[in-house]
Amino acid sequence: MKKGKKYSSGKIRIYTFLRSGLFYALLAFAATFAFSLSSLAANIYFYAVNPEAKTLTDMLLSLAATFITGFGTYKSSKNLTYAFKYRRIVTPDSIKKEINDNIPANMTPSYGKNGYVWKKFNNEYYLSSDLVDDFLRDNSQKLTLKIYPKKSRMSEDQKWTIFHVVNKKLRHGKNIFNSNLVKLRSDLLCDDLLNNPTVIVQKTDYFYNITSNDLIYSRILDGDYSKIFEGKAMTVDGGKFLYSLSDSPAANIIGATTLAITSDGYAIINVQNTHNDINNGCLVPSGSGSADFDDLKAFKIKNKTALKKSEIDKARKEMENAKKDYTETKNNIYGKYTSAVEALKGDNNAEISAYVANAETEAEELKGYEKAAKNYLQKREHYKYIKKTRNYEIGFKPFLTKAMERELSEESHIPAKNIIKTEICGYIRILERGGKPDFFGITFLSCTKEEAEDLFIRKKTEVVYEEIKKNRDIMDFDEVYCQHYVPVAELFNKKTINELSQKNPASLQLHCLENIILRNKQLLIDNGIKID
């Protein structure tokens, strides 16, 4: 989220309506009627100026067409508006039960082979693997990113749904920001990543997420209660398997969550405010949110800039060579084709016979031309891709730790100078959010518990003051209501978290990080944290 971003619920409603299918349908109807009306007006004008140019029959036919178009526009617009206005989002218990009963009972072979198992916490199912967690901890720095800057396009169902989803959240007092986020398009399978250490991501946004992943248990009904959209269609394959991330049409935005540990061995646990869209009023880790697309922007390191420039130059040369080869092949074939045409015109039997005799050679040359054309198009697309991604980081770990540390700075007000490093230690997919992928890390701080607490209180007060001065309509500076500082040693007996949960329920993310801490005892010791 962008803290302190100017926000207006009215503007959000207008924006989502303009993106809805109803708006485009009404616009199309209006344009059709306007065209018919203008045609009628033109016929009347020309008939008045020169009765001989236009017959009365033409004018009457134009009048009839305009009347029919106008009546159809009125009726269709009225019916569509009624259906849109009274559309509703329902979440029947039967859908949730069906999905929760079937999906955790099934596992694709590739996921099972990589140690994935379904687990449950507070009636929430999630998919996790100790093998993958250990792989990320030990190998995340070796993984590179392939980035698709172009956004996924919304389906028609999503366009017709977005206005109602957003309005429902606004009525419940939630903060809505349609920020650009990052979609994960690779399944984290150890075998695949060892052979090809590349993770594919793509640009998406928050609206795409709430009209896909977050609708897994929901059904959209029209004004007459007819079913028009099943949310699970974008996240569940046939009602038995969760879509793999490489095949899923959903947003699958990357969650970035970290637990910060102070230099004197205290874990920072936050309590979120009730107006938050997710985990409102819950105990959450020190920094928890989603990766922004801006997190992919490259760090200002000279050698990486030079490397990217060399990649762009190399891609451009490959494209130019492919274009040259394509042009030469095309000109050669065109020249022979022209000669054959001229031979046919001159009825030169000798030349025609020679051309026919070489038909097989010509066919091979034609295949070569097609191959050259395809190669040129591929090289051109590769050049465009490299050029577009010149500002983005190519490392998986730097991107993910950057997102985690940004969330930590925004929510716990820990400045970058107090962050020593972040280690990636975990990964899950959350069923309740349509298989949304979440990554977990542990961030080691240079400040003590007292210094971290002072930073949180002082910085939060400063931000509140600045936001009030600027007259913000809605402010997102107070996502975190308060903080708890728990000795890391106490996390190993789970007693403290259970006690805190009596007042505020623990989030799934905090539960997962608590388990990750237990499995990474040596990592804490290696970073100077006392756990005894």
Task: Please tell me which of 165-169, 248-252, 525-529 the model is most confident about, judged by mean pLDDT.
Answer: 248-252
Of the listed ranges 80-84, 170-174, 337-341, 376-380, the one predicted with least confidence:
337-341
Predicted local distance difference test score (pLDDT) of residue 435 = 94
**Distance, CA of 435 to CA of 426 (rounded, Å):** 15
Predicted local distance difference test score (pLDDT) of residue 4 = 39
Q: What is the 3-state secondary structure (H, E, C) of 254-311?
A: CEEEEEEECCCCEEEEEEECCCCCCCCCCEECCEEEECEHHHHECCCCHHHHHHHHHH
pLDDT in tens, 215-230: 999 888 876 666 678 8
Are 212 and 266 contained in the same domain? Answer: yes
Predicted local distance difference test score (pLDDT) of residue 130 = 95
Where is pLDDT greater, at 131 or 357?
131
The mean per-residue pLDDT over the stretch 329-353 comes to 62
- Best CA proximity match to 235, nearest among 433, 520, 451: 433
Give me the sign of the Cα torsion angle 361, 367, 369, 371. Answer: negative
**Whether pLDDT at 423 is above 60:** yes
DSSP 196: S
Q: Is residue 232 a part of any domain in this protein?
A: yes
Of the listed ranges 198-207, 396-405, 462-471, the one predicted with least confidence:
462-471
Q: Is residue 55 a part of any domain in this protein?
A: yes
Predicted local distance difference test score (pLDDT) of residue 242 = 92
Q: Is residue 50 a part of any domain in this protein?
A: yes
Tokens of 116: 């994935």
Q: How confident is the model at residue 5 (pLDDT cuts 50, 70, 90)?
A: very low
Are 465 and 489 contained in the same domain? Answer: yes
**Whether pLDDT at 394 is above 60:** yes
Predicted local distance difference test score (pLDDT) of residue 41 = 82
- Best CA proximity match to 486, nearest among 470, 464, 510: 510
What phi, psi does 153 have (nearest 5°)? -90, 140
Predicted local distance difference test score (pLDDT) of residue 497 = 79
Predicted local distance difference test score (pLDDT) of residue 1 = 39
Q: Is residue 4 a part of any domain in this protein?
A: no
**Whether pLDDT at 303 is above 60:** no
Predicted local distance difference test score (pLDDT) of residue 334 = 67
Q: Is residue 531 a part of any domain in this protein?
A: no
Give me the sign of the Cα torsion angle 172, 435, 405, 295. Answer: negative
pLDDT in tens, 120-147: 998 899 999 999 999 999 999 999 988 8
**Whether pLDDT at 263 is above 80:** yes
Q: How confident is the model at residue 52 (pLDDT cuts 50, 70, 90)?
A: low
Are 358 and 432 contained in the same domain? Answer: no
Q: How confident is the model at residue 404 (pLDDT cuts 50, 70, 90)?
A: very high
Predicted local distance difference test score (pLDDT) of residue 428 = 97
User: What residue numbers bound the domain in which 354 lies?
Assistant: 302-391
Residues 238-243: contacts with CB under 8 Å, at least 24 apart: 239/98, 239/99, 239/102, 240/102, 240/103, 240/106, 241/103, 241/106, 241/108, 242/103, 242/127, 242/429, 242/431, 242/435, 243/435
Q: Are 193 and 254 in contact (CB under 8 A)?
A: no
pLDDT in tens, 478-497: 567 788 999 998 888 777 77
Are 311 and 452 contained in the same domain? Answer: no
| Coil vs helix vs strand at 18 | helix
Are 252 and 123 contained in the same domain? Answer: yes
Where is pLDDT greater, at 400 or 150?
400
Predicted local distance difference test score (pLDDT) of residue 444 = 96
Predicted local distance difference test score (pLDDT) of residue 473 = 46
Q: How confident is the model at residue 363 (pLDDT cuts 50, 70, 90)?
A: low
Q: What is the dihedral of CA 384, 388, 392, 397, to 10 degrees?
A: -40
**Distance, CA of 271 to CA of 279 (rounded, Å):** 9
For position 469, which CATH number holds?
3.90.79.10
**Distance, CA of 411 to CA of 352 (rounded, Å):** 80
Are 372 and 484 contained in the same domain? Answer: no
Domain end point (choices 376, 391, 406): 391
Domain end point (choices 85, 103, 132): 85
Q: Are 46 and 515 in contact (CB under 8 A)?
A: no
What phi, psi does 154 have (nearest 5°)? -65, 145
The mean per-residue pLDDT over the stretch 33-52 comes to 76
Of the listed ranges 371-375, 464-468, 511-515, the one predicted with least confidence:
464-468
pLDDT in tens, 152-200: 888 888 888 888 888 888 777 776 778 899 999 999 999 899 999 999 9
The mean per-residue pLDDT over the stretch 6-16 comes to 71
Predicted local distance difference test score (pLDDT) of residue 403 = 95
CA 23 to chain centre: 24
Question: What is the number of residues in the chain?
Answer: 532
Are 80 and 116 contained in the same domain? Answer: no
Are 157 and 212 contained in the same domain? Answer: yes
Q: Are 343 and 352 in contact (CB under 8 A)?
A: yes
Predicted local distance difference test score (pLDDT) of residue 129 = 96
**Whether pLDDT at 336 is above 80:** no
**How many other β-carbons are positioned within 10 Å of the β-carbon of residue 244?**
16
pLDDT in tens, 274-292: 666 677 778 999 999 999 9
Predicted local distance difference test score (pLDDT) of residue 21 = 75
Q: Is residue 3 a part of any domain in this protein?
A: no
Predicted local distance difference test score (pLDDT) of residue 86 = 73
Are 355 and 372 contained in the same domain? Answer: yes
Are 107 and 58 contained in the same domain? Answer: no
pLDDT in tens, 450-483: 999 998 888 777 766 666 565 554 444 556 778 8
What phi, psi does 501 have (nearest 5°)? -70, -15
- Number of domain units in the chain: 3
Domain end point (choices 62, 85, 108): 85
Q: Is residue 1 a part of any domain in this protein?
A: no
Q: What is the dihedral of CA 497, 499, 504, 509, to 10 degrees?
A: 10
High-pLDDT (> 90) share of the chain, %: 35
**Whether pLDDT at 116 is above 50:** yes
Where is pLDDT greater, at 355 or 233?
233
Q: What is the dihedral of CA 234, 236, 238, 243, to 10 degrees?
A: 100
**Distance, CA of 438 to CA of 36 (rounded, Å):** 54
Are 402 and 384 contained in the same domain? Answer: no
**How many other β-carbons are positioned within 10 Å of the β-carbon of residue 164?**
18
Are 124 and 230 contained in the same domain? Answer: yes
The mean per-residue pLDDT over the stretch 2-30 comes to 71
CA angle 497/503/508 to nearest 5° reads 50
**Whether pLDDT at 296 is above 80:** yes
E strand segments, 466-532: 480-487
Q: Is residue 503 a part of any domain in this protein?
A: yes
